Amino acid sequence: MIRVGVVGATGYAGAELVRILAGHETAELSVLTSRRFAGAEFDKVYPCMSGVVNMVCDELNLSDLCKRTDFVFIALPHKIPMAIVPELIEKGKKVVDLSADFRFSDPTAYEAAYQPHTAKDLLKRAVYGLCEVYSEQIKRADITGNPGCYPTSILLPLIPLVKSSLLDCNTIIADSKSGVSGAGRSLSLTTHFCEVSESFKAYKVASHRHNPEINEVLTMQAQKNVKITFVPHLVPMSRGMLSTIYAKINKNVTSKDIRTCLASFYDDQPFVRICEQGIIPDTSHVRGTNFCDIGFEIDELNNRLILISAIDNLVKGAAGQAVQNMNIMVGLEQTTGLMGPGFPV
Amino acid sequence: MIRVGVVGATGYAGAELVRILAGHETAELSVLTSRRFAGAEFDKVYPCMSGVVNMVCDELNLSDLCKRTDFVFIALPHKIPMAIVPELIEKGKKVVDLSADFRFSDPTAYEAAYQPHTAKDLLKRAVYGLCEVYSEQIKRADITGNPGCYPTSILLPLIPLVKSSLLDCNTIIADSKSGVSGAGRSLSLTTHFCEVSESFKAYKVASHRHNPEINEVLTMQAQKNVKITFVPHLVPMSRGMLSTIYAKINKNVTSKDIRTCLASFYDDQPFVRICEQGIIPDTSHVRGTNFCDIGFEIDELNNRLILISAIDNLVKGAAGQAVQNMNIMVGLEQTTGLMGPGFPV
Amino acid sequence: MIRVGVVGATGYAGAELVRILAGHETAELSVLTSRRFAGAEFDKVYPCMSGVVNMVCDELNLSDLCKRTDFVFIALPHKIPMAIVPELIEKGKKVVDLSADFRFSDPTAYEAAYQPHTAKDLLKRAVYGLCEVYSEQIKRADITGNPGCYPTSILLPLIPLVKSSLLDCNTIIADSKSGVSGAGRSLSLTTHFCEVSESFKAYKVASHRHNPEINEVLTMQAQKNVKITFVPHLVPMSRGMLSTIYAKINKNVTSKDIRTCLASFYDDQPFVRICEQGIIPDTSHVRGTNFCDIGFEIDELNNRLILISAIDNLVKGAAGQAVQNMNIMVGLEQTTGLMGPGFPV
Amino acid sequence: MIRVGVVGATGYAGAELVRILAGHETAELSVLTSRRFAGAEFDKVYPCMSGVVNMVCDELNLSDLCKRTDFVFIALPHKIPMAIVPELIEKGKKVVDLSADFRFSDPTAYEAAYQPHTAKDLLKRAVYGLCEVYSEQIKRADITGNPGCYPTSILLPLIPLVKSSLLDCNTIIADSKSGVSGAGRSLSLTTHFCEVSESFKAYKVASHRHNPEINEVLTMQAQKNVKITFVPHLVPMSRGMLSTIYAKINKNVTSKDIRTCLASFYDDQPFVRICEQGIIPDTSHVRGTNFCDIGFEIDELNNRLILISAIDNLVKGAAGQAVQNMNIMVGLEQTTGLMGPGFPV
């Protein structure tokens, strides 16, 4: 058994990690930390886990954490992880960080979007944990930066196509829609029930921090400069993320070319489901699962591809992909603990 | 008082017409028809109206309708109105039709999207009831084709800009999101509570019938051929529609140019609210009202405009605009009966 | 025109007062106060009112308030109103207070449930603003304590029956369910979208502060000691309140007796709708209106009456009833400004 | 491996059975039947199962079913199962029926609530599958009538107390609230999204068919005639059921007595969680799980117990309890395949 710690276990991503790891046959939850609920039983904070998870939340203590774990997930707001991870790595732990701190390979890009980076050396060593694309590097990594939810939903459908030069990379637009759990458990008027219910809106229009993350990865994959237009929206539901992505297709590219490109790229990937023609992804099809569903149509009048992807923002967009990263990093089947079926309703 | 009939009063658009007209100081509801609920008291079908609307639903009978009304709203599925409207017009009634039957000026475009048109002569006479754009023609019209909900939400922000040549018309994409009431009161798995709740999806991707309607109007306004890419989505809420519209801006066009163009076009229009910079439309701000809120941002990296509009699909997107058309057609202030404030929650 | 002030205009009850008063033909909004948003335009706090309400929120200043208003609504948390109302009354203003401060006639009962009362003299003068029951007293009142939402939904169906001795008053149980707006606009985990959606729960079981308020009124009306069992629940919706009330009926009491009693008591009351047999109240039928719908069934096997009432907690349960009180206090038709129809969806 | 068939696999209860059984280590799904979707791949009907369940839906064919299964779940509307089960039993299959057909031991009671029973002989042999109460009989049963969702949520908290004579059985009232999935996947206006959202209502007041089912079991357990008052309500959410149950407690019964009675009765039962004092059940705590949470308060002023229970209507209220019954019937640990943790949101 791998002894696993979850740092920041009482936020939504942290609690989702606990849920998944509680059913993982090879991982054993050994430490849960929480600043706010230190000393409390975890199932008092999340009564849904009562009778299943029987642990007390600890204050974060690095040396104690190192003693009691082999593998550490960090589910804290950005800026804090870069102060913690170096010591964990030095002590020989393997780490998946769910914040943005280890997602960028270019510290300048990180610093432009976030704040000064205090562990730049580790950035070179850290691997971007988009499992279907970087599994070879992840296998050898001891620190993985788990991708953002929006980047996951946008990069998975786009990467095969930009690598194959089927698209005009100057025309990419991603219109994304997220459930409210993406905003976390912290209180704000934006997530107050009466303000969300019967409301749909855009936010951080063309100014969201996931935009440079997406641009960096696409630029590397396309081997040319890519800057997409990205607009996130808030949907009155708890879980789920759908991205509708638009791009001009290059001359003579057909629907069949698109399908072949996606299908062959994801042929062996258990968590990417390419929808049959005419089937359009729906967040309810992936809720509670680690799947990413990808469908597409071509607007023939405009020679424009419309790619649609659906994920559960807390699973493939956060905790599920984090566990998938762990599985790869420690040499397990990547599906371990992650193949539970979705809910019919 | 104008005696008003609502044909198809028990669908959602029809019932919303009844709601608005019940509070209209110059209109008097005189006939409500319903195929399915003929003979029933209207407030048995919509108990929310009990104590306010005290009428019985009739079977549709054209001669009776003509006797008892001066003005007729038709809220039936397309194809049926074109069989009814000619007689109403002949009898000197004024009509607003909420279906697609009288929206197109080009019968070929209508027939490509719907079915053979059996009242083509009237098409020439019918005016497209987008009030803020065609009010001069509406004043003189006796038959108005009330715009679709998606077209309303997409045309209002776009028309001033395409007329001013600020945009590259070949690059327009509209990503729209609608509440479930847009699908009407007919039963389908798509509108079953458990299938909609916690679900977000696209549908009729680049193949929705509102697409040619939008194209026709934009082409006329821009005075060149415009074909936009249009993808509608379904939001787990009852009312509301938000459109996020993308287009390349022409060289040297600034944010201020966009603002000036929109603001001057809608200067005297009581139902279009141009959001201040930094404020982004939200469907909850227009719920239950006839307003269309328009905001925008420019993605400077891509020289791309992002226009966002919000309407209530049942009000400005259907019954509210229909009443606004009536007001204009009969010479009332266009705001009559339509200025009730929105709900705080 | 009556110049009206709303103190605490940016909470949900306050904003709902603004919504209703904006459409009131005899009242003119003259002052809006808000501690948190003083200095801000009201429609920046509630963009749904943009274009309809064009006012700035003021800091509360009693002498200024007195100069600029004839009538004052107070929508503040309990304890604050009792420090403000005495001066307003002294200056000759009429006041409806939406908090609990002026609902009790017995200060001991108030103090047991809330805190020491600092304006006990006014308690004697204040009238309990349950309009359908105390209209004669309200007509002559200058200070009215607007009933709580739960008490309104429970007292309206019960009062006619306890006055007529049709029920065994020792057996009354009220199981009530409220939408989330009842908890106000203040942030808490309980009203966080993800915690409310797909959740149903009871709270303050047999310990809610509305329980003594209900008991005091029922005791006066029944002219004997009545103490009901009361359990409130939270429903994942924004507006609406349904109370299911159980009581043993006295021997030989029939369904017809119950109907006759309710119907005759509310015969002339425009806002109470007694449902026909077989029709059961639904919060969606009263949403956005000042109606209280009342239905009932008898469980013959147990000789037990089941009364069901539905109101909109923000209208008949708060702002609507407050305006109804104002109408009565200033001699207007009680329906003025309150007869807008409900929304079909 | 036990070869398992699900008859009626495409309704919500059937699909939930598929979800649970797909993760069951000892059961193997061998047949899925569906009248409506015969011939279709199951994951076309429920795309959430794509990549996890790879089966085709068959038309129901009893002899084929017998060949290919050892154990059969029937998730069909009542009346059909009693025509099927006798043959299955004769062929030596074990069966859990999720309809009402095998829940009653008294055929007269069944026939009064439903219709003539055509397999009365089997009624004697069938065991009522309330696992925590009848496990000894279930162990030896070959046909189990899986309890209704409302009865499960009401009987589990009540049975220990009526057996211990702590309550006055003439005063029991159950006020229950259910998510919409309880109404199944069939279309009706009652389950249309726009009619459910922002709506709360009671239905079948004191006339629901689960009432006699509850009465029969309580009467047997209390060893005296018990007839409770039962009112179900519909909550705007997909999953979850909460019952608030009221009863007079006998003289000198204390809160501690209640707690001891419940705790000792359910001491060894993994799926019943008795909430600590002050903690109140919430449907979100049991969503997606087979747990039943039970909490209580005493209204001291009225000497009345308020019991509250929460279950997931599709799991402990249907498919989960059905699998728990199978586990017991075939000699497995009753928790097999049922201990997945709940979802944090």
Residues sharing a CB contact under 8 Å with residue B262, sequence separation 6 or more, in sequence order: B157, B160, B161, B274, B294, B296
- With an 8 Å Cβ cutoff, are A191 and C196 in contact? no
Using a CB-CB cut-off of 8 Å, the residues of chain A touching B279 are none
- With an 8 Å Cβ cutoff, are B193 and D185 in contact? no
Answering whether pTM is above 0.95, one says: yes
Nearest to C200 among D242, D297, D301 (CB): D242
Q: For residue A187, report the phi and psi dihedrals to the nearest 5 degrees.
A: -80, 140
Tokens coding B16:
């919303």
User: Using one digit for the tens of pLDDT, what is the confidence trace for C208-221?
Assistant: 999 999 999 999 99
From C192's Cα to the closest Cα of chain A, the distance in A is 5
Return the pLDDT at D244: 98
pLDDT of chain D along its 345 residues, tens only? 999 999 999 999 999 999 999 999 999 999 999 999 999 999 999 999 999 999 999 999 999 999 999 999 999 999 999 999 999 999 999 999 999 999 999 999 999 999 999 999 999 999 999 999 999 999 999 999 999 999 999 999 999 999 999 999 999 999 999 999 999 999 999 999 999 999 999 999 999 999 999 999 999 999 999 999 999 999 999 999 999 999 999 999 999 999 999 999 999 999 999 999 999 999 999 999 999 999 999 999 999 999 999 999 999 999 999 999 999 999 999 999 999 999 999
Dist CA B173 CA B161 (whole Å):
14
Could you confirm whether B131 is annotated as catalytic?
no
Q: For residue A343, report the phi and psi dihedrals to the nearest 5 degrees.
A: -90, 135
Return the pLDDT at D303: 97
Mean pLDDT computed over every residue of chain A: 97
Long-range interactions of B75-79: CB distance < 8 A, separation 24+: B75/B6, B75/B7, B75/B8, B75/B9, B75/B11, B75/B13, B75/B14, B75/B17, B75/B99, B75/B318, B75/B319, B76/B7, B76/B8, B76/B11, B78/B114, B79/B114, B79/B115
- With an 8 Å Cβ cutoff, are B194 and D197 in contact? no
Q: Exactly one of B66, B131, B149, B169 is catalytic; which is it?
A: B149
- Give percent helix, percent strand, percent coil of chain B, each to the nearest 5: 35, 20, 40
User: Using one digit for the tens of pLDDT, what is the confidence trace for D73-90?
Assistant: 999 999 999 999 999 999
Percent of chain A with pLDDT over 90: 100
A112 touches chain B (CB under 8 A): no
On the 0-12 / 13-18 / 19+ scale of CB atoms within 10 A, B259 is middle
D202 touches chain C (CB under 8 A): yes
Domains belonging to chain A, first-starting first, are: 2-147+316-329 (3.40.50.720), 150-313 (3.30.360.10)
Dist CA D115 CA C285 (whole Å):
34
Sheet with A143-145, strands from edge to edge, namely A27-33, A2-7, A71-74, A94-97, A143-145, A127-128
From A84's Cα to the closest Cα of chain D, the distance in A is 26
Q: How confident is the model at residue C302 (pLDDT cuts 50, 70, 90)?
A: very high
CB C299 within 8 A of CB D202: no
Q: Select from B10, B48, B242, B294 the residue whose CB has the most chain C CBs within 10 Å, as the one to mutate to test that interface.
A: B48
DSSP-assigned beta bridge partners for residue C282: D201
Among B67, B66, B85, smallest CA distance to B75 is for B85
Q: Exactly one of A131, A149, A169, A275 is catalytic; which is it?
A: A149
* ipTM (interface pTM): 0.97
Give SS3 for A229: strand
Q: Select from A168, A205, A230, A293 the residue whose CB has the most chain B CBs within 10 Å, as the one to mutate to test that interface.
A: A205
Tokens coding D115:
């219709």
Q: Concatenated DSSP letters for D270-330?
A: TTEEEPPTT---BGGGTTTS--EEEEEEEETTTTEEEEEEEE-TTIIIIIHHHHHHHHHHT
Mean pLDDT in residue range A190-212 = 97
Return the pLDDT at A63: 96
User: Using one digit for the tens of pLDDT, what is the confidence trace for C113-155?
Assistant: 999 999 999 999 999 999 999 999 999 999 999 999 999 999 9
Q: For residue A2, report the phi and psi dihedrals to the nearest 5 degrees.
A: -95, 125
CB B232 within 8 A of CB B219: no
Q: Which residue of A has its CA nearest to C188?
A: A187
CB D238 within 8 A of CB B199: no
Sheet with D229-234, strands from edge to edge, namely D201-202, D229-234, D173-178, D241-248, D304-311, D292-299, D272-274
Which amino acid belongs to residue A1? M
User: Using one digit for the tens of pLDDT, what is the confidence trace for C31-44?
Assistant: 999 999 999 999 99
pLDDT of chain B along its 345 residues, tens only? 999 999 999 999 999 999 999 999 999 999 999 999 999 999 999 999 999 999 999 999 999 999 999 999 999 999 999 999 999 999 999 999 999 999 999 999 999 999 999 999 999 999 999 999 999 999 999 999 999 999 999 999 999 999 999 999 999 999 999 999 999 999 999 999 999 999 999 999 999 999 999 999 999 999 999 999 999 999 999 999 999 999 999 999 999 999 999 999 999 999 999 999 999 999 999 999 999 999 999 999 999 999 999 999 999 999 999 999 999 999 999 999 999 999 999
CB C47 within 8 A of CB B282: yes
Q: How many CB atoms sit inside 10 A of residue A214's CB? A: 25
End-to-end CA distance of chain D: 34
Q: Which residue of D has its CA nearest to C311?
A: D200
Nearest to C191 among A193, A237, A238 (CB): A193
Using a CB-CB cut-off of 8 Å, the residues of chain A touching C192 are 185, 187, 191-193
Q: Which residue carries 């017809």 as its tokens?
A: C256
Give SS3 for C55: coil
Q: For residue D281, report the phi and psi dihedrals to the nearest 5 degrees.
A: -55, 150
Among D273, D337, D287, smallest CA distance to D317 is for D287
Using a CB-CB cut-off of 8 Å, the residues of chain D touching B178 are none
Tokens coding D265:
């009765």
Give SS3 for B107: helix
DSSP-assigned beta bridge partners for residue B6: B32, B73
Q: How many CB atoms sit inside 10 A of residue A151's CB? A: 27
Return the pLDDT at D204: 97
Nearest to A192 among C191, C198, C236 (CB): C191
Q: Which residue of D has its CA nearest to B345?
A: D198
Dist CA A285 CA A303 (whole Å):
29
Q: How confident is the model at residue C261 (pLDDT cuts 50, 70, 90)?
A: very high
Dist CA A127 CA A138 (whole Å):
6
Q: Which residue of B has its CA nearest to A206?
A: B299
CB A180 within 8 A of CB A240: no
- With an 8 Å Cβ cutoff, are A47 and D279 in contact? yes
- Give percent helix, percent strand, percent coil of chain D, each to the nearest 5: 35, 20, 40
Return the pLDDT at A161: 98
Return the pLDDT at B163: 97
Q: How confident is the model at residue A227 (pLDDT cuts 50, 70, 90)?
A: very high
Residues sharing a CB contact under 8 Å with residue A242, sequence separation 6 or more, in sequence order: A153, A176, A177, A281, A282, A283, A308, A309, A310, B200, B201, B202, B233
Q: For residue A243, report the phi and psi dihedrals to the nearest 5 degrees.
A: -115, 130
B192 touches chain A (CB under 8 A): no
Nearest to D343 among A19, A51, A339 (CB): A19
Return the pLDDT at B219: 98
Dist CA A106 CA A111 (whole Å):
9
Dist CA D276 CA D295 (whole Å):
7
Strands B292-299 and B229-234, sheet pairing: unpaired
Using a CB-CB cut-off of 8 Å, the residues of chain B touching C198 are 197-198
Return the pLDDT at C172: 98
Q: How many CB atoms sit inside 10 A of residue D26's CB? A: 15
C238 touches chain A (CB under 8 A): yes
Q: Which residue of B has its CA nearest to A232?
A: B244
Nearest to C301 among D179, D201, D227 (CB): D227
